[in-house]
Amino acid sequence: MAEFPVIQMQKSTVQLLQSKEAREVQLRVVYIKLDEIVTIQEQFSGIVFLRARWREPTLDNTTVRDVDKVNWAACWDPKLDIQNVKGEPKASKWRELEFGPNGEVYVVERLRVKGAFAEQMELAHFPFDLQDLSVLVTSELKEHEIHLVEDEHDISIVDINAFADDQEWDLHPCVWTEPKVTVKSEYTQFAHSKPGLYFKCCATRLAGYFVWNIMFVMSVISLLSLVTFAVSRTLPQNRIQLSFILMLASVTFKFAASNSVPKISYLTHLDRYILSLFIFTFLIAAWHGVVTRWKDYPNVQEDLDFWAFVCFIILYVLIHVGFIIIMMFSGYRRRSFLIAREQEYTERAANLTGKLTSKKKKTGGLRRGLARVGFV
């Protein structure tokens, strides 16, 4: 077995050990399998693989190849952990040694975790939302002792073919990181800021279920409120009764929508749509009560009732046109960010594999968009 150059390796070892700079740890995450994304519990479940790689100068110039014979207590430990895993997951950890061309030794730590991962959902655009699926890797060491970076030799990946929740979500095949994330430790006597690194992939919700089962039915119910104008003006009690029945149906759909998301302090797109149509139905019911004030002036009452009917039709159209415009433009920045991330990821993956990057024209964009709302 070839011996490493003793003089060179001892010099490199001394320099690294005496350095006061943070030791660099390269990280790579693989989303092996994603089972389910649970919006109301703000979590996703699956299997995640983490690989960490760092220099270990104390093992330079060693002839030991068996990791079981290494005295790990005498070696540096980055004390890595996945912070956002919930409960007691099934995890397995093991280490390996890698040897550089000049005899330098690298420790490779591998961690495989199966469980549920917490994820703060951004639901302002629900059900036309995009959700990050994050894995937060942290270290118990202080910020000046360790530097967490993405692996520069191997790219992090997500296996979209092993995605079990593809009936509700469209998983995008890219992973990116958000470096320089620090988390304040509050559970030790000597609290300090500790470094962390987010690994994120993204999934787009397929909104077809909510479009057809809630929004479409709600729009039909609200449209039926215009039918109350067919009832004679001399029977306002019948008009109001029908309007109240339709309002109660709107309340039922509002509760159904609320059961699909966690308790949040802001409105989603679905909430805005349902509340807009609820107010629309309420205004019609209120009008049927107000128009009775002109019962002594039947001609005036007839004209007012006709123009009110026309105004409510225009209002109904404006509500839907405005909702579509707001829905399209409100998510533009988020979609643009995701497209840029996908392009960067594709170029980096091509560079690492040694292949030339070639921009191909995307096909099936319209079909993919229609599929998200249940048309195909």
Choosing from 204, 234, 252, the residue where a domain stops is 204
Q: What is the pTM of this model?
A: 0.82
SS (H, E, C) the chain: CCCCCHHHHHHHHHHHHHCCCCEEEEEEEEEEEEEEEECCCCEEEEEEEEEEEEECHHHCCCCCCCHHHCCHHHCCCCCEEECCEEEEEEEEEEEEEEECCCCCEEEEEEEEEEEEEECCCCCCCCCCCEEEEEEEEEECCCCCCEEEEECCCCCCEECHHHECCCCCEEECCCCEEEEEEEEECCCCCCCCEEEEEEEEEEEEECCHHHHHHHHHHHHHHHHHHHHHHHCCCCCHHHHHHHHHHHHHHHHHHHHHHHCCCCCCCCCCHHHHHHHHHHHHHHHHHHHHHHHHHHCCCHHHHHHHHHHHHHHHHHHHHHHHHHHHHHHHHHCHHHHHHHHHHHHHHHHHHHHHHCCCCCCCCCCCHHHHHHHHCCCC
Q: Whole domain around residue 166: which residue ranges?
A: 6-204
pLDDT in tens, the chain (376 residues): 333 333 334 444 444 444 567 899 999 999 999 999 999 999 999 999 999 999 998 888 776 677 788 888 889 999 999 999 998 999 999 999 988 888 888 999 999 999 999 999 999 999 999 999 999 999 989 888 999 999 998 999 999 999 999 999 999 999 999 977 675 656 655 567 788 999 999 999 999 999 999 999 999 999 999 999 999 888 989 999 999 999 998 888 888 888 888 889 999 999 999 999 999 999 999 999 999 888 888 899 899 999 999 999 999 999 999 999 998 898 888 899 999 999 999 999 988 876 533 344 444 454 555 556 555 5
CATH number, residue 322: 1.20.58.390
How many Å apart are CA 162 and CA 11, to the nearest integer? 47
Q: Looking at the structure, do residues 141 and 59 belong to the same domain, yes or no?
A: yes
Q: Looking at the structure, do residues 19 and 110 belong to the same domain, yes or no?
A: yes
Q: Looking at the structure, do residues 157 and 228 belong to the same domain, yes or no?
A: no
Q: Looking at the structure, do residues 107 and 221 belong to the same domain, yes or no?
A: no
Choosing from 292, 308, 330, the residue where a domain stops is 330
